[in-house]
A and B are shown apart, each in its own frame.
Chain A
Amino acid sequence: DAGITQSPRHKVTETGTPVTLRCHQTENHRYMYWYRQDPGHGLRLIHYSYGVKDTDKGEVSDGYSVSRSKTEDFLLTLESATSSQTSVYFCAISVTGTSGTHEQFFGPGTRLTVL
């Protein structure tokens, strides 16, 4: 499982409250990603990181911010949660394979409900 954990695994919150999701990895991989998954949309990339303090936007970054102050942790923050951010959130890391390509390994997911 590439040593990826996500916390919390489930969260229910109210509209307008801040929420932070944590992704933790134990193997010092450089690249980390946050995705959200909604019915009918597959996985969509929110933000990604290519090193400590190096982050960039993905397809659906509005309403989200990220931080990576150390290699092992990648935090996703919803500054003011909205009902449209109810989703399952997956964290992933990217590992360089023997052929030089990158493979992604995913965490178990966090189910977030915004009421």
Chain B
Amino acid sequence: DAKTTQPNSMESNEEEPVHLPCNHSTISGTDYIHWYRQLPSQGPEYVIHGLTSNVNNRMASLAIAEDRKSSTLILHRATLRDAAVYYCILRDVGETYKYIFGTGTRLKVLA
């Protein structure tokens, strides 16, 4: 299973953008990059995913490096409700079943 590396924790000020990095140097051509987040005392929730091109949705943006060996989740204006653990996950398009979550990045948002 392809692995990802994320910083253990990050801090951001409220209302400022946050860039959460993820390294995945062993990514294969068929791996999708997924981001999930887990709010306190809840199960993880989907944030965004991409394959090669940058992606935007109402929650965040995903910037994928040209060589796909790294990606960055961008929260454009952090709020206190964005304080969570963010997981970067690779999933092979042929591996329908399994997500390997890792330990993620704990984001702290300062008021």
Using CB atoms and an 8 Å cutoff, list the residues of chain A in contact with chain B.
31, 33, 35, 40-45, 48, 50, 56, 58-59, 90, 92, 94, 101-109
Contact = CB atoms under 8 A, between A and B. Distances in A.
B43 A106 contact: yes
Interface in B77-111: 85, 87, 91, 93, 96-104
Given A42-B87, A42-B104, A105 B46 contact: yes
Contacts of A35: 101
Contacts, number: 58
Contacts of B104: 42
Ordered nearest first, which 9 A-B pairs have the shortest CB separation? A106-B43, A43-B101, A42-B103, A42-B101, A103-B46, A90-B43, A42-B102, A48-B97, A106-B44
A50 B87 CA distance: 24
A94 B34 CA distance: 13
Nearest to B43: A106
B43 A107 contact: yes
Contacts of A59: 100
